[in-house]
Protein backbone atom coordinates (compact mmCIF):
# COMPACT_ATOMS: atom_id res chain seq x y z
CA UNK A 1 0.00 0.00 0.00
CA UNK A 2 1.21 3.49 -0.85
CA UNK A 3 2.15 5.98 1.86
CA UNK A 4 2.72 9.68 2.34
CA UNK A 5 6.41 9.01 1.91
CA UNK A 6 5.73 7.62 -1.57
CA UNK A 7 4.09 10.90 -2.55
CA UNK A 8 6.87 12.93 -0.96
CA UNK A 9 9.55 10.92 -2.80
CA UNK A 10 7.95 11.92 -6.11
CA UNK A 11 8.15 15.64 -5.27
CA UNK A 12 10.92 17.83 -6.69
CA UNK A 13 11.64 19.47 -3.31
CA UNK A 14 14.45 21.67 -4.59
CA UNK A 15 12.21 23.03 -7.36
CA UNK A 16 9.33 23.54 -4.91
CA UNK A 17 11.68 25.35 -2.52
CA UNK A 18 12.87 27.60 -5.34
CA UNK A 19 9.27 28.31 -6.41
CA UNK A 20 8.34 29.20 -2.82
CA UNK A 21 11.52 31.21 -2.21
CA UNK A 22 12.64 29.10 0.75
CA UNK A 23 15.39 26.58 1.43
CA UNK A 24 14.81 22.88 0.82
CA UNK A 25 14.53 22.02 4.53
CA UNK A 26 11.78 24.62 4.98
CA UNK A 27 9.95 23.34 1.89
CA UNK A 28 10.25 19.77 3.17
CA UNK A 29 8.81 20.75 6.57
CA UNK A 30 5.95 22.64 4.90
CA UNK A 31 5.20 19.59 2.73
CA UNK A 32 5.21 17.42 5.88
CA UNK A 33 2.55 19.73 7.35
CA UNK A 34 0.47 20.40 4.23
CA UNK A 35 0.33 16.94 2.67
CA UNK A 36 -1.48 15.17 5.54
CA UNK A 37 -3.90 18.10 5.84
CA UNK A 38 -4.72 17.92 2.13
CA UNK A 39 -5.22 14.15 2.24
CA UNK A 40 -7.28 14.39 5.43
CA UNK A 41 -9.50 16.98 3.76
CA UNK A 42 -9.97 14.67 0.79
CA UNK A 43 -10.66 11.80 3.18
CA UNK A 44 -13.29 13.84 5.02
CA UNK A 45 -14.98 14.61 1.70
CA UNK A 46 -14.88 10.92 0.76
CA UNK A 47 -16.92 9.94 3.83
CA UNK A 48 -19.98 11.42 2.14
CA UNK A 49 -21.21 9.46 -0.92
CA UNK A 50 -21.58 12.62 -3.04
CA UNK A 51 -18.16 13.85 -1.92
CA UNK A 52 -16.60 10.46 -2.67
CA UNK A 53 -18.15 10.44 -6.14
CA UNK A 54 -16.93 13.98 -6.81
CA UNK A 55 -13.42 13.14 -5.62
CA UNK A 56 -13.39 9.97 -7.68
CA UNK A 57 -14.34 11.99 -10.80
CA UNK A 58 -11.57 14.47 -10.03
CA UNK A 59 -9.04 11.68 -9.53
CA UNK A 60 -9.95 9.91 -12.75
CA UNK A 61 -9.68 13.19 -14.68
CA UNK A 62 -6.04 13.64 -13.63
CA UNK A 63 -3.21 12.05 -15.56
CA UNK A 64 -1.14 9.70 -13.40
CA UNK A 65 1.86 10.25 -15.67
CA UNK A 66 2.52 13.50 -13.77
CA UNK A 67 3.96 11.44 -10.90
CA UNK A 68 5.62 8.70 -12.91
CA UNK A 69 9.38 9.01 -12.85
CA UNK A 70 9.28 12.05 -10.58
CA UNK A 71 7.29 15.24 -10.97
CA UNK A 72 8.34 18.02 -13.33
CA UNK A 73 7.11 21.16 -11.58
CA UNK A 74 6.61 22.87 -14.96
CA UNK A 75 3.83 20.34 -15.64
CA UNK A 76 1.89 21.21 -12.47
CA UNK A 77 -1.18 23.38 -13.10
CA UNK A 78 -1.38 25.64 -10.03
CA UNK A 79 -4.67 27.13 -11.27
CA UNK A 80 -6.14 23.64 -11.16
CA UNK A 81 -4.49 23.23 -7.77
CA UNK A 82 -6.27 26.30 -6.40
CA UNK A 83 -9.61 24.87 -7.56
CA UNK A 84 -8.80 21.51 -5.96
CA UNK A 85 -7.85 23.15 -2.65
CA UNK A 86 -11.11 25.15 -2.65
CA UNK A 87 -13.10 21.97 -3.41
CA UNK A 88 -11.33 20.01 -0.67
CA UNK A 89 -11.59 22.58 2.11
CA UNK A 90 -14.62 24.58 0.90
CA UNK A 91 -15.51 27.48 3.16
CA UNK A 92 -12.75 26.41 5.56
CA UNK A 93 -9.93 26.95 3.04
CA UNK A 94 -8.71 30.22 4.54
CA UNK A 95 -8.87 28.87 8.09
CA UNK A 96 -6.93 25.72 7.17
CA UNK A 97 -4.27 27.72 5.34
CA UNK A 98 -4.00 30.23 8.18
CA UNK A 99 -3.70 27.49 10.80
CA UNK A 100 -0.96 25.70 8.87
CA UNK A 101 0.81 28.97 8.05
CA UNK A 102 0.65 29.94 11.74
CA UNK A 103 2.41 26.67 12.58
CA UNK A 104 5.09 27.47 10.01
CA UNK A 105 5.39 31.04 11.38
CA UNK A 106 6.11 29.68 14.87
CA UNK A 107 8.96 27.77 13.30
CA UNK A 108 10.37 30.89 11.69
CA UNK A 109 9.18 30.75 8.09
CA UNK A 110 6.10 32.99 8.17
CA UNK A 111 4.34 34.38 5.13
CA UNK A 112 1.82 32.49 3.03
CA UNK A 113 4.00 29.41 2.60
CA UNK A 114 1.20 26.84 2.91
CA UNK A 115 -1.17 28.99 0.86
CA UNK A 116 1.38 28.94 -1.95
CA UNK A 117 2.29 25.27 -1.47
CA UNK A 118 -1.18 23.67 -1.46
CA UNK A 119 -1.98 24.58 -5.10
CA UNK A 120 1.32 22.96 -6.12
CA UNK A 121 0.67 19.80 -4.10
CA UNK A 122 -3.01 19.32 -4.96
CA UNK A 123 -2.63 18.32 -8.65
CA UNK A 124 0.32 16.10 -7.73
CA UNK A 125 -1.74 14.36 -5.06
CA UNK A 126 -4.65 13.83 -7.47
CA UNK A 127 -2.27 12.39 -10.08
CA UNK A 128 -0.80 10.09 -7.41
CA UNK A 129 -4.31 9.04 -6.36
CA UNK A 130 -5.19 8.47 -10.03
CA UNK A 131 -2.24 6.11 -10.30
CA UNK A 132 -3.26 4.23 -7.13
CA UNK A 133 -6.94 4.18 -8.15
CA UNK A 134 -6.04 2.80 -11.57
CA UNK A 135 -4.01 0.02 -9.94
CA UNK A 136 -6.92 -0.79 -7.63
CA UNK A 137 -9.40 -0.87 -10.53
CA UNK A 138 -7.13 -3.18 -12.54
CA UNK A 139 -6.62 -5.68 -9.72
CA UNK A 140 -9.62 -5.53 -7.37
CA UNK A 141 -9.23 -9.17 -6.32
CA UNK A 142 -5.76 -8.39 -4.99
CA UNK A 143 -6.91 -5.25 -3.20
CA UNK A 144 -6.99 -5.19 0.58
CA UNK A 145 -10.57 -3.95 0.37
CA UNK A 146 -12.00 -5.83 -2.57
CA UNK A 147 -15.51 -4.92 -1.44
CA UNK A 148 -15.15 -1.72 -3.45
CA UNK A 149 -14.23 0.88 -0.84
CA UNK A 150 -12.81 2.96 -3.69
CA UNK A 151 -11.07 6.24 -3.19
CA UNK A 152 -11.80 6.35 0.55
CA UNK A 153 -9.79 3.17 1.08
CA UNK A 154 -6.85 4.56 -0.86
CA UNK A 155 -6.90 7.78 1.17
CA UNK A 156 -7.23 5.83 4.41
CA UNK A 157 -4.24 3.71 3.45
CA UNK A 158 -2.17 6.78 2.64
CA UNK A 159 -3.02 8.48 5.89
CA UNK A 160 -2.52 5.32 7.94
CA UNK A 161 0.61 4.32 6.05
CA UNK A 162 2.41 7.62 6.40
CA UNK A 163 2.96 7.76 10.15
CA UNK A 164 6.27 9.22 11.13
- Residue-level pLDDT at 4: 81
- Residue-level pLDDT at 143: 44
Interval 31-55: pLDDT, tens: 999 999 999 999 888 888 888 888 8
- Residue-level pLDDT at 6: 85
- Residue-level pLDDT at 12: 94
Say how many domains are in the chain.
Answer: 1
- Residue-level pLDDT at 1: 57
Residues of the chain where predicted confidence (pLDDT) is lower than 70: 1-2, 106-110, 137, 139-149, 157, 159-164
Q: What b/e sequence results for 24-61 when a residue is b if at least 16 CB atoms lie within 10 Å of its CB, and e otherwise?
A: eebbbbbbebbbbbbbebbbebbeeeebbeebbebbee
Give dist(CA 127, CA 51) in Å, integer. Answer: 18
Give dist(CA 31, CA 22) in Å, integer. Answer: 12
- Residue-level pLDDT at 149: 57
Q: Which domain holds residue 36?
A: 4-161
Amino acid sequence: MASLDDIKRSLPLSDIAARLGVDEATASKAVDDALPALLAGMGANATDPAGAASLERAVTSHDPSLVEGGVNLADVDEGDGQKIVRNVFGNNTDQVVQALDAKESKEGTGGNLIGNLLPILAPIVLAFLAKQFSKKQQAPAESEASEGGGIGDILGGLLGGGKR
